[in-house]
A and B are shown apart, each in its own frame.
Chain A
């Protein structure tokens, strides 16, 4: 460790003792956001049962601060597409996503939302919610267990807190 780095760390220690932390505003806001997702309860099929179970007492999503399932998209910042997205529902789903205020994220929960699942070739089902909504995290499973949903949300948390790491994984720069 060079002298310059050591001096910086010592300065940080001194400010921390005075109850002052230095960071940038984006990191600070993201720190708040990732500990309080307000998901939009957009349950479309049986995955919604697992989503409800995740919010219940046994799996207790509220220990991460994610339990405020909002019925209105205007008060939500995370859309969990839980279930089979039919073509008739697709314009509604897109509209709900558009109504959510920025910053917003979306999770595709279950095989149907990821890729159409067993109904991919059906005349009435959208093959993957990502054809209408930009999806951040895909959770496979039919339906995924509550642990999977929690893991998916923690992956999203990781993704938001470390945008450079995601960029590195995806594009290598």
Chain B
């Protein structure tokens, strides 16, 4: 239709010209603040550009990427008892003692540092990376994204079903669930950081201590084992409402007579949910999932404010490389990697959403 009309009358040509004129400002602005900087980030990622540094900027090829992503696995030999020639065993735990991982990890051309150690079929291995912080940030961010999005989906569905039910004060409730979403992340991060204090001045430690769990001194934000669960808890609180709203919109699109037919058949609430609501919501859920995954993968505020440099997300790693280390080139390379990861997800999103222009 568009093509036929465009070639036809004056009016259609006028309309087409107007469309281009109206779109021009948006596209010019996006060219200036998105496309141009993106291209320059690609360019910088192949250089050693550093802010306020005396070394001249030069091209370093792929070495930034190499530095960020290089990983290796080495076996760690056990410590040998010099008198017996047998591996040393810790007399208390009965576990074999191993040599220091530093000794087995390569130092040239890149210096590898230990990421983690694991034992497989009786052999001790060390996983080394030239930038363990970055590799860990990728792993942590992906784990964070997968777990938060899953929990948000489940809880968001519960919330959506509740505020979809008929009860007095439903309007108020729908406004209320927007509160976590509306509170600035900087504020909610500080609120939660205070609630998660490592002693009984914090709400959580007091609460758990009252009900007999923990000694009231759980270091939620400094113990590596608790850091990610804490981040996940905060993000689930903050973002479940958004998920619930998306799902609610989907639920409201389901025609009511489908349920009436099910009522006649005498289907229970559970069966109605799993056999009617859930399948009919498949499209909405797919969109919400990928949309939220993209958002979670670029998490910055929460990690930077609550954990600072104790533990990075991909975005906060990039930020600290840029601002703290002034490493423009290195930070750009990590930006590019994030961009590629997110683009892959975005393409899935576009496919599942299916853009239609109803004029064509």
Q: Do A and B come from one complex?
A: no
Residues of A within 8 A of B (CB): none
